[in-house]
Amino acid sequence: MSETDTESATVKMKTVHTMKSLIDSDGKWKWISLIFAVSTLFFLLMNISLLVIVLRGSHRLSSDSESIIADIEIRNLDDKDDVFSQLTFEEIDLVLKYLYSIESLRLTMPNETKIESSFIHTIELLSPPKKEVMEYLQNNGSKPNRRAKVYIFRGDISPPMIEEYVVGDLPNLSYGRIANVSSRHTRIPHIYRPFSTYEFMGIYKHVIARIGKEARHVLLESYNATTTNCGNQCLRFSMTPISSGYLQEGKRKAWFWFAYDVEFFTLHPVDFQFLVDMTSSQSSDWSIEQIWYANKLFPSLDNFLDEYKCGSINKTRLKFPEEATNLYSSLNTRQPPLSPLQRRAPIQIEPDGRRFSTAGNTVAYMSWKIRHRMSPTNGFQLFDISFDNEMIVYEMSLQEVIVIYSGYTPSARMLHYADGAGLFGTRHRGLLPGTDCPDNAKFIDVHLYSSNENGKRTYENSVCIFEHNNNSPLRRHRAYGRSGAFYGGLLDSVLVIRTIMSVINYDYVIDYIFHQNGIVETKVSLTGYLSTSFYFTEEEHYGGHLQKHIQAGLHNHLFNFKVDLDVKGTDNRFETLDIKPEFKQDPWNSRDHHQSKYEKHTRCTEQDAQYTYNFETPKYLLISNHNKSTEEGLSRSYRIKFSGISKMQLPSDYGFAKSISWSRHQVTVTKRKDEEDTSSSIFAMWDANDPVVNFKNYSEDNENIIDEDLVAWITLGTQHIPHKENMPNTLTAGSQLSFYLIPYNYFDEDPSMRSPDSVRIVPKDPKRPTEGAIVERGSGYKRTVCIPTKSKIDEFLAKNSTFIFT
Ligand SMILES: *[C@@H]1O[C@H](CO)[C@@H](O)[C@H](O)[C@H]1NC(C)=O
Ligand SMILES: *[C@@H]1O[C@H](CO)[C@@H](O)[C@H](O)[C@H]1NC(C)=O
Ligand SMILES: *[C@@H]1O[C@H](CO)[C@@H](O)[C@H](O)[C@H]1NC(C)=O
Ligand SMILES: *[C@@H]1O[C@H](CO)[C@@H](O)[C@H](O)[C@H]1NC(C)=O
Ligand SMILES: *[C@@H]1O[C@H](CO)[C@@H](O)[C@H](O)[C@H]1NC(C)=O
Ligand SMILES: *[C@@H]1O[C@H](CO)[C@@H](O)[C@H](O)[C@H]1NC(C)=O
Ligand SMILES: *[C@@H]1O[C@H](CO)[C@@H](O)[C@H](O)[C@H]1NC(C)=O
Ligand SMILES: *[C@@H]1O[C@H](CO)[C@@H](O)[C@H](O)[C@H]1NC(C)=O
Ligand SMILES: *[C@@H]1O[C@H](CO)[C@@H](O)[C@H](O)[C@H]1NC(C)=O
Ligand SMILES: [Cu+2]
């Protein structure tokens, strides 16, 4: 199905939805449908013309009729967004055609590919140089060329490699070469390869098939389940890759473990694990090295099978879990209900229609404007975040998500996960209206290329955008009393751009929240299923014993974000305001007095710009423009503030830690370089012996960072010691981590003073404040009654649930 087909289908669905919601309501609203007949006709006309435009192939138009109307009403967005936007399917086709024409690449067709062959893993836009983009956006410079960044698996060459190619310039491609950059490796040993469908095919064929055949009797006898021909009593395998930091040079190995294939398998591990050497690029060479069963380690599969036969092993006997609705791991609703009331939860409505608009990759809300793109490897990225048409952030994006587990069993203690290996972009999809995002949110589909998902693919409902109010004032004051009574307040309505990534068992909700006072909030909430292992008493200090056989390991979640702030241009400084105790004689008498004072500390070099949180030395962290000051001579700045940090406890030169050097500091400021695009890579789970992106190197040259273009790399985190209530699901509440970008002498006055949502109340007669008041509303609107539109999502899903389960 083509891109335009999908869009028109969505438009049709939503048109039907809008009109039906007006007509379908109960009898007493019939007269309203009559009144609305005229406007319905208008909607219909709008949608027909929209369909025509969409069918003509414009990929720029949003798929939602309401937002088109909002666009027309609110403002005309410029269309310079495509310097940032992801490659279109047409552009991807050009890249594919070009690369397949290069014979020396020996690219295989997807239906013939194996892990040992040459194939394209991902294709995406290579970010254009920032200088060129800035010239284009701000100085009428020429449009930067569009180029593709492509990862190609070269299992076919010796030694086997993964290669990063740059292919350009679109649309008339004339070169495709291995990227030549000095800040990351672009020819990567095959043993550091990220997850791929083709590797899993090799695993099924050469590893699981062997275990399933030779140990079938063990699995059946111990677990009453097996891996193949298992009916509805199957075992599933999971892979725990081992970082090269724990292996002999040149090796690739992984622990595998079995779990019952029920809802949900990560809470049903059995006590069967095995170590596989996957060093060879030929999957037929992979060998099963060790077996761990019933808390014992065996040096080989044959040895294990012999011992099992001789009866020298205490055999495990487990029952297949019964799929009861109250099975501890299932998400079925339990009884009795929390409330006997059959009433729906509150919802928010937009009484006068949507207040944000979207066009192409751009979103506009109040004075905010934001552009976005989805990269198959890096995931969701924001660009060119501006307020009052002035850029504040050039790029803001999640860089990496890691989880470091502890445990006793061989697999559990090696579980050091860098989620980027799973290709972030492809993990964003299937947001459910009404639960993941409000029903009235705008849902965005993205189009990406990844061999793990059969090449070109549309990911439905990957991103949602909505405005809502936090039901709390952003600011307010009530002055009361006989004189000078007034009230001034503003409800905190915000624009939220939300994505949710499901990476195997965990789900990460990532919100970028734009407040009306110039604050950008980034919030990560964690949910999903725990990763667990089979319980043995030796696990006691490594996690929570949550069910008879289930142990969930203690783990540390860490997240890294890139924030390329540009405060009034790119000549910025990193300053800290260091708050210190003072004990000094009072100038007004002879007493000694304790109080705090602060000193501004300009961080001159990259080594001096690595900030580690310390409770004893409180600080404000500022990105400032020294040349743009307030009338009082204070630099214009943005402040970085965070809540939700966690110490990375592995020694810095130990194993996996070398792949994640960003995790040592809560904020690291570096001089911005196009080459130093990311703090991590899709290889981080494996590459500790020689990290492909070695973040530590970014600061190693210790460059001067005064009045330079700067990037702040921000690390959030949380330790998690699992407990009963984390089953079946872990909860977002209590697990939220945030950082804020807060204007600090950036504006001369809080810009939310201009909000149309402002309310001011003054007495009619200041001398008699209780005898009537005048209510002033910024927008001058009158309060009216309105009807929420009825959601049709459940009916829609009953017929077609493609978007949520693909
Ligand atoms: C793979 O697909 C191509 C066409 O795209 C076809 O020519 C070829 O026979 C197929 N190979 C296999 C093994 O199915
Ligand atoms: C922008 O550049 C183009 C061509 O380089 C020129 O024709 C146009 O007049 C310029 N516009 C402005 C506003 O400078
Ligand atoms: C690409 O090539 C076509 C035909 O060869 C030409 O018309 C077009 O201007 C070229 N586009 C660019 C961006 O160079
Ligand atoms: C890579 O870039 C460096 C420095 O820019 C240059 O000296 C070198 O020749 C380039 N190598 C290739 C293969 O293009
Ligand atoms: C990082 O620096 C080390 C030491 O200078 C060097 O060996 C390594 O190749 C660098 N890594 C990258 C990815 O540039
Ligand atoms: C294995 O499962 C089957 C099917 O559910 C059941 O009939 C049988 O009793 C089970 N065997 C054991 C030993 O639990
Ligand atoms: C089997 O279990 C018994 C009782 O728990 C124990 O005494 C024995 O040492 C175990 N044997 C092995 C081989 O682990
Ligand atoms: C500061 O701004 C002035 C006026 O715009 C300019 O002349 C000067 O070069 C700037 N200084 C720095 C350090 O950027
Ligand atoms: C279901 O929806 C998907 C898109 O989500 C579409 O590709 C497919 O054709 C639809 N199926 C039916 C039967 O309408
Ligand atoms: Cu957790």
Question: Which segment of 28-42, 119-133, 347-361, 707-721 scores lowest on mean pLDDT?
Answer: 28-42
Answer whether residue 57 shows pLDDT above 50: no
Q: What is residue 197's three-state secondary structure?
A: helix
Q: Where are the domains of the chain?
A: 89-180, 197-310, 360-529+555-585+592-720+730-754
Please state, in angstroms and rounded to a whole number, the distance separating the CA atoms of residues 670 and 299: 48
Confidence of residue 402 (pLDDT cuts 50, 70, 90): very high
Catalytic residues: 419, 506
Please state, in angstroms and rounded to a whole number, the distance separating the CA atoms of residues 672 and 677: 8
Please give all residues whose beta carbon lies within 6 A of any atom in ligand 9, as ranges. Answer: 1, 460, 800, 802-803
User: How many other CB atoms sit within 10 Å of the CB of residue 465?
Assistant: 22
Q: Residue type at 389?
A: N
Answer whether residue 33 shows pLDDT above 60: no
Please tell me the residue having the least CA distance from ligand 1 atom 13. Answer: 112
**Mean pLDDT of all residues in 93-122:** 96
CATH of the domain spanning 197-310: 3.10.450.40
Please state, in angstroms and rounded to a whole number, the distance separating the CA atoms of residues 443 and 430: 10
Q: Residue type at 677?
A: D
When comparing pLDDT for 724 and 73, which is higher? 724
**Mean pLDDT of all residues in 663-687:** 98
Q: Which atom of ligand 7 is nearest to the CA of 295?
A: 14
Tell me the per-residue pLDDT of 323-373, one tens digit each, with 9 for 90 and over. Answer: 888 899 999 999 999 999 999 999 898 888 899 999 889 999 999 999 999
What per-residue confidence (pLDDT) applies to 643? 94
When comparing pLDDT for 440 and 37, which is higher? 440
Q: What's the 306 CA to ligand 7 centre distance in angstroms? A: 18
Question: Which segment of 2-16, 62-76, 608-622, 746-760 scores lowest on mean pLDDT?
Answer: 2-16
What per-residue confidence (pLDDT) applies to 792? 83
Q: What's the 471 CA to ligand 2 centre distance in angstroms? A: 47
Confidence of residue 802 (pLDDT cuts 50, 70, 90): confident
Chain-wide mean pLDDT for the chain?
Answer: 89
Answer whether residue 55 shows pLDDT above 70: no
Confidence of residue 801 (pLDDT cuts 50, 70, 90): confident
Please tell me the residue having the least CA distance from ligand 6 atom 11. Answer: 224
| Phi and psi, residue 9, nearest 5° | -60, -45
Q: State whether the beta carbon of 702 lies less than 6 angstroms from ligand 7.
A: no
Buried b (16+ CB within 10 A) or exposed e, 280-293: bbebeebbbebbbb
Answer whether residue 740 shows pLDDT above 70: yes
Provide CB contacts within 8 A for 586, sequence distance 6+: 592, 593
| Phi and psi, residue 19, nearest 5° | -70, -45
Residue 556 pairs in a beta bridge with 404, 719
Confidence of residue 12 (pLDDT cuts 50, 70, 90): very low
CATH of 89-180 given 2.60.120.380, 3.10.450.40, 1.10.10.60, 3.40.640.10: 3.10.450.40
Residue 455 pairs in a beta bridge with 450
Confidence of residue 631 (pLDDT cuts 50, 70, 90): very high
In CATH terms, are 89-180 and 197-310 the same topology? yes
Give the distance from CA 617 to its chain's centroid: 31
Q: Which atom of ligand 9 is nearest to the CA of 806?
A: 5
Cα distances (angstroms) measured from residue 74 to each of 363, 366, 794: 12, 10, 31
When comparing pLDDT for 401 and 6, which is higher? 401
**Mean pLDDT of all residues in 530-544:** 95
Please give all residues whose beta carbon lies within 6 A of any atom in ligand 6, as ranges. Answer: 224, 319-320
Confidence of residue 785 (pLDDT cuts 50, 70, 90): low
Please tell me the residue having the least CA distance from ligand 6 atom 14. Answer: 319
Please state, in angstroms and rounded to a whole number, the distance separating the CA atoms of residues 237 and 228: 11
Please tell me the residue having the least CA distance from ligand 7 atom 4. Answer: 314
Q: What's the 170 CA to ligand 3 centre distance in angstroms? A: 9
Please state, in angstroms and rounded to a whole number, the distance separating the CA atoms of residues 427 and 414: 23
Burial of 153 (0-12, 13-18, 19+ CB in 10 A): buried
Tell me the per-residue pLDDT of 447-473, one tens digit each, with 9 for 90 and over. Answer: 999 999 999 999 999 999 999 999 999
Q: State whether the beta carbon of 112 lies less than 6 angstroms from ligand 1.
A: yes
Q: What is residue 698's three-state secondary structure?
A: helix
When comparing pLDDT for 49 and 181, which is higher? 181
What per-residue confidence (pLDDT) applies to 681? 98
Answer whether residue 71 shows pLDDT above 70: no
Confidence of residue 16 (pLDDT cuts 50, 70, 90): very low
**Mean pLDDT of all residues in 168-183:** 96
Please state, in angstroms and rounded to a whole number, the distance separating the CA atoms of residues 216 and 220: 6
Please state, in angstroms and rounded to a whole number, the distance separating the CA atoms of residues 63 and 444: 8
Tell me the per-residue pLDDT of 560-603, one tens digit each, with 9 for 90 and over. Answer: 999 999 999 999 999 999 999 999 999 999 999 999 999 999 99
Q: What is residue 333's three-state secondary structure?
A: coil
CATH of 360-529+555-585+592-720+730-754 given 3.40.30.10, 3.40.50.10090, 3.40.47.10, 2.70.98.20: 2.70.98.20
Burial of 487 (0-12, 13-18, 19+ CB in 10 A): middle
Closest CA to 558 of 666, 642, 655, 651: 666
Answer whether residue 41 shows pLDDT above 60: no
Tell me the per-residue pLDDT of 298-315, one tens digit each, with 9 for 90 and over. Answer: 999 999 999 999 988 999
